[in-house]
Amino acid sequence: MAAPPQPHPPAAEEGAAPAAPLPAAAPGPRPYDVAVAAAELRPVDCNLSALCDHVQAEGFGSGAFSDLVVEAMGATYRLHRLILSRSAYFRWALES
């Protein structure tokens, strides 16, 4: 018949070398830190509607952070290369 499982490792025999200590865990973020970081990002990361509203108001409405100015037909347009690059024509024009 098999011996019942032991809850603790057997004691070291007398005169035997002591067991080597376990290696320390690699340093890194603690689970609490990861949860807090994820919670801080969640409102921005998961709210696509608010992001679209922000881009519309700040990017297109006021021209904030625009990186390209086009003057055409008597008007000045403060545009964004990233948005224009969605068009094959403008991507070609911006890259050449």
pLDDT at 74 over 90: yes
Residue extents of the structural domains in the chain: 31-64, 66-96
Tokens of 58: 């700040």
Tens digit of each residue's pLDDT (9 = 90 or more) over 3-60: 555 555 555 556 666 666 656 656 665 665 655 555 555 555 567 788 888 888 888 7
E strand segments, 37-81: 68-72, 75-79
Tracing tokens 């969605």 back to the chain, one arrives at: 86
What 8-state DSSP symbol labels residue 47? -
The confidence score (pLDDT) of residue 60 equals 79
Phi-psi region of 88 (alpha: psi -120 to 50; beta: other; left: phi over 0): alpha
Residue 88 confidence (pLDDT): 93
